[in-house]
Amino acid sequence: MIITEKLIWLGLGITTVGLLSGIFYQTVSEAVDRHKYPPLGQLVDIGGFRLHLNCIGQGTPTVVMDAGGGAPSITWGLVPPEIAKFTRVCTYDRAGLGWSDPNLRTPRTSQQSVDELHTLLTQTGIKPPYILVGHSLGGANMRLYASQYPEDVVGLVLVDSSHELSMTSETWKRIKRELWLYQVMRVASRVGVLRLIGELNLLPILEEIKQEIKKYPLAVQALFDTYKSYCYRPHYWATISSEYANLEKSFEQLEDVISLNNLPLIVLVQGVKAPAMSDERFQRWQKLQLDLTKLSSNSQYTIAENSGHLIPLEQPDLIVSAVRQLVERA
């Protein structure tokens, strides 16, 4: 009995030391990352937390870009520098993503993102008119923004945008399974386990991205280590979890966005089916993207023939061309 109690206390002691060591490792490593990968732009306090905003180029209208679900602004790759050659372009990280501070006091819905973006643009003195560009979930956010601030927006580019009717029962089941995984990743990152596994090249999600990114230009490949540093932060996984847990609510917020009148709108859609995507689902996705053109009487639809969902990385020139077209018409 005494031996058993000693073993229990020994086990608890070893576990405690291990956890404290992991937390210390994570804390120190995060500080190193902040020094090694400083923000590309500025951190703006919008009410108790800071959002990362990076504006380059000169001219008007200003192009404002919102990335996909769980994606930092660097996933726009080579698009912003090309747009900056003919007008000002601003990318930002939603709260909890990229270099932005987390804001988990409220659910991460599209409406919350729109409210925070509007506050960010107002506080930094970035005045309209705006051309909004949104990829995937960022597209849903920008649709909502355009509907709520029509006097500020002179153009909208939806890049393989999320659609509220695209979700099936199987999709919702998959998301619920992933939410559990995100919570595991959050806890593992807090105690340094996720970072340790990642640095040993044993984290499947990072290894897949590392291999996939090799087909892109060197300038894009160079962003991998920065992206990896985001993945090691607990609030990154908490934020992704909140975005997807509240996806249904975000889509409900879009239900009233039935018309953007004659706002110049360009819809870009993937033309290459992902291996895991069925033919039926792929065709349904393209039809729903075509459906988005009905939001405006002044719209056009373009298929990215050489791209899957990641059009910003696979055909950045297509997005740049769409933006240029809207800038010239503004």
Instruction: Supply the pLDDT for residue 28.
Output: 72
At 44-73, the pLDDT tens digits run 999 999 999 999 999 999 999 999 999 999
- The whole-angstrom separation of Cα 230 and Cα 20 is 22
Note the pLDDT of residue 106.
92
Structure tokens belonging to residue 188:
């593992």
Assign domain 42-169+242-329 to a CATH class. alpha beta
Domains of the chain: which residue ranges?
A: 42-169+242-329
Question: Could you read off the pLDDT of 83-123 as tens digits, one per residue?
Answer: 999 999 999 999 999 999 999 899 999 999 999 999 999 99
DSSP 119-174: HHHHHTT-PSPEEEEEETHHHHHHHHHHHH-TTTEEEEEEES---TT---HHHHHH
What pLDDT, on the 0 to 100 scale, is given for residue 166? 86
Question: Which amino acid belongs to residue 96?
Answer: G
Task: Assign 52 to helix, strand or coil.
Answer: strand
Q: Flag residues of the chain having pLDDT under 70.
A: 1-22, 24-25
